Amino acid sequence: MKIALVSPYDFAYPGGVVNHVTALERQLTKMGHDVRVIAPASKSVPDFGDRFIPIGKPRPLPVSGSIARISLSLRLASKIKEVLEREKFDIVHLHEPFQPMLCSAVLRFTKTPTVGTFHACAGRPGYWLGWPVSAIFIKRRTPKLKGKICVSIAAKRYVKKWVHGEYDIIPNGIDLDLFNPSAEPFIEYKDGKINILFVGRLENRKGLLDLLRAFNRIKKDVPESRLIVVGPGKIMRRRYEIWLKRHHLEDVVFVGYAPQEDLPRYYQTADIFCAPATGRESFGIVLLEAMAMGKPIVATSIEGYRCVVTNGVEGILVPPKNNKQLALALLRLIDNPSMRRKMGENGRFKAHQYSWKRVARRVLDCYMKVLGEQKSRVLQTVSSR
């Protein structure tokens, strides 16, 4: 089967949707399918070779407490038509199908059966530039989506307000070959201190300031502790570093951006993983990564995280924006190595349910259902003539 995976986001910049599409492409290719990724890119994407087709130049745009790096060009039509005509895909899989401009334009111009995956659980499903006019475009183009996927119940709850119809819930997957407890830790951090790990972009909604405040409390009781922060965000990093100096807080290490192949080593270095997001997370992929590495978790009890972590089983869930409860949960795990070990084992077991091999099979089932329905409609049309 020839498959197009279309992402609206800068494919040269890390993010949940980009990582999802990358992993899905690899798994579908392993399964023998001919896959192309179509996305805007701010620089070359060498790992994909001719399997990557760049369309559009991304621009950073503040959206829902984050930065969306998307193409805003109105001149993509000719390139999109040329690619669709040349490649002759069997199915086109759009990620955030109504996101301007690339995905919405591909949905408009393609004559191939389409599937859309909705990842977000906040804001509107694309077209947030010029609402309510954009509602008209969503209504017009929704019938072209023959299959609809949400990565979680949280994502489905939000998108159904604007895009009606039936949905398959197919979660994000995890690469169990990459995120494997056999990874080597970073030895410079294995000095007897308790290591707490944060992984994510440095944005307000990721809740790092709450974690810094919690760590400030923890340091008073556990001086031999360290917080390792992995993720890009130069502007917010400077703000956090000013906060650290003001509060004389030490043992906070900002790593910055880390390539995908280094992430398992950071998880392996950690004793506890912490995800203090304040909301707007449809699915906790970083939670899955930590679980696959056998690490206990402290996370906020937001809907997108509750669908991954069961409180008291793989980790401890606390109210968002509550640094006191966050500190107490972290201290509870710091003081209880056997609980850390048991939660890590539970997480490792659960993560196997989310292997990309399983997830890709479910995506393929959705493709086959759409193609089967398309074939049935064609036969009905022919027979009625």
**2 or 163, higher pLDDT:** 2
| Cβ count near 318 (within 10 Å) | 24
Average pLDDT over residues 302-315: 96
Q: What is the pLDDT of residues 216-269, one digit of tens each?
A: 999 999 999 999 999 999 999 999 999 999 999 999 999 999 999 999 999 999
Residue 190 makes CB contacts below 8 A (sequence gap 6+) with 269
* Structural domains of the chain, ranges and CATH numbers in brackets: 2-173+355-384 (3.40.50.2000), 187-354 (3.40.50.2000)
Residue 379 has pLDDT above 60, yes or no: no
Residue 162 has pLDDT above 50, yes or no: yes
| Cβ count near 142 (within 10 Å) | 18
Q: What is the pLDDT of residues 47-93, one digit of tens each?
A: 899 999 999 999 988 776 677 889 988 899 999 999 999 999 999 99
CA pair distance 47, 41, nearest whole angstrom? 13
How far apart, in Å, are the Cα atoms of 323 and each of 115, 168, 197, 318? 41, 36, 16, 9
| 8-state DSSP, 57 | -
Residue 383 has pLDDT above 90, yes or no: no
Residue 123 has pLDDT above 70, yes or no: no
| 8-state DSSP, 184 | P
Cβ burial 215-249 (10 Å sphere, 16+ → b, else e) = bbbbbeebeebbbbbbbbbeebbeebeebbeeeee
pLDDT classification of 30: cutoffs 50, 70, 90: very high
Position 127 scores a pLDDT of 47
Position 263 scores a pLDDT of 97
pLDDT classification of 130: cutoffs 50, 70, 90: very low
CB 339 within 8 A of CB 296: yes
Q: Which residue has the tokens 């910049």?
A: 13
CA pair distance 268, 257, nearest whole angstrom? 17
Residue 107 has pLDDT above 80, yes or no: yes
Position 381 scores a pLDDT of 55
- Residue 281 corresponds to which amino acid? E
